[in-house]
Amino acid sequence: MEEEVKDQTIENQNPTSKKDAFMQRFSEKYPDLKPDDEESLYGKISEDYDRFDKSDQSQKQLGDLLASDPRSAEFLMIMRKGGNPVEFLIEQYGDDFREALNDEGKAKELADAFSKYTEKQTQNRELQSKAEENMQKMIDDLDAAQKEGNFADEDATSAYEYLYGDGGLLDRIITNEITKEDWLMLMKASKYDNMMKENEAKIAEAKTEGEIAGRNANIDDKKKKRTRVEGMPTTLASAGGSTNEGKPKNATLAALDKIQKKSVWD
């Protein structure tokens, strides 16, 4: 008991200032933000105020709606408690439903609305099915990207939570709360992606040019070899060929040469 009183006395002697309390809460919400970076600090405060203003505006619109028709508030309560909304609507708007069913024009509007509902439900089921089918591939691609980039498990988890976590990028896209940091990250990623594509194109181009240069060099080499063979002296070019020079003459052929006064070979 004495220790508790002593602690309270110390706290009273060293009260936390409003500024320190605010900065402590702010740093807990945005741990990566540096307090001495005033531009980033006031920019983040401004973004928070924008969200507060939007939230206040939405609450005001909802309050005006509930005030204009108390049945709206009752309907929300039924939904929150898991009641039957259709039953409540019939109880509250029975005459409107009867009039719509008996009126040909309004009946058509109801039929069109139901058709839109059915189409939307079909699309939702297709999207849900597609999302479930792609889930495993998405996880596999995340693992592959982690291995290819040599990233730690913490990096992969952080990337996943940035996109799919509560208040993550996808949630902020739905509510149009994309921040400056989000845009910077997306633009940097896009720039990096374009740079990688340009590098891949340059590598492919250099590879093609190398293959062409190699083929041309091979053709030039063959031409040079052919030119050397064709330019050789006759004695060398005919080396190893069939010839009568240096062979002993046949006596019968020699006699015929004398009679005909010319070589039998002519």
Interval 41-91: pLDDT, tens: 888 888 888 888 887 787 788 777 777 777 777 888 887 788 888 888 888
Sign of CA dihedral 76, 77, 78, 82: positive
Closest CA to 72 of 85, 54, 58, 55: 85
Q: Report how far residue 31's alpha carbon sits from residue 74's, in angstroms, rounded to the nearest whole number.
A: 42
Residue pair 51/177 in contact by the 8 Å Cβ criterion:
yes
What amino acid is encoded at 84 in this protein? N
Distances (CA, A) of 226 to 29, 169, 220: 79, 68, 10
Distances (CA, A) of 78 to 22, 111, 195, 209: 39, 26, 55, 72
pLDDT digits (tens, 9 = 90+) for 121-150: 888 888 888 888 888 888 889 899 889 889
What is the residue extent of each domain of the chain? 185-214
pLDDT over 60 at 7, yes or no: no
Q: Which residues contact 34 (CB under 8 A, 6 or more apart)?
A: 40, 41
Residue 257 or 129, more confident: 129
pLDDT digits (tens, 9 = 90+) for 99-128: 877 887 777 887 888 888 888 888 888 888
User: How many H-runs (helices) and E-runs (strands) does the chain carry?
Assistant: 11, 0
Task: Classify residue 243 as left (phi > 0), alpha (psi -120 to 50) or beta.
Answer: beta
What count of Cα atoms within 13 Å lies in the side-chain half-sphere of residue 146? 15
Mean pLDDT in residue range 204-215: 74
pLDDT at residue 83, as a whole number: 81
The model carries a pTM of 0.34
Sign of CA dihedral 107, 113, 119, 121: negative
Closest CA to 26 of 47, 10, 2: 47
- Give the helix ranges, DSSP H, for 2-150: 2-13, 18-29, 38-68, 70-80, 85-102, 104-148
Mean pLDDT in residue range 7-32: 71
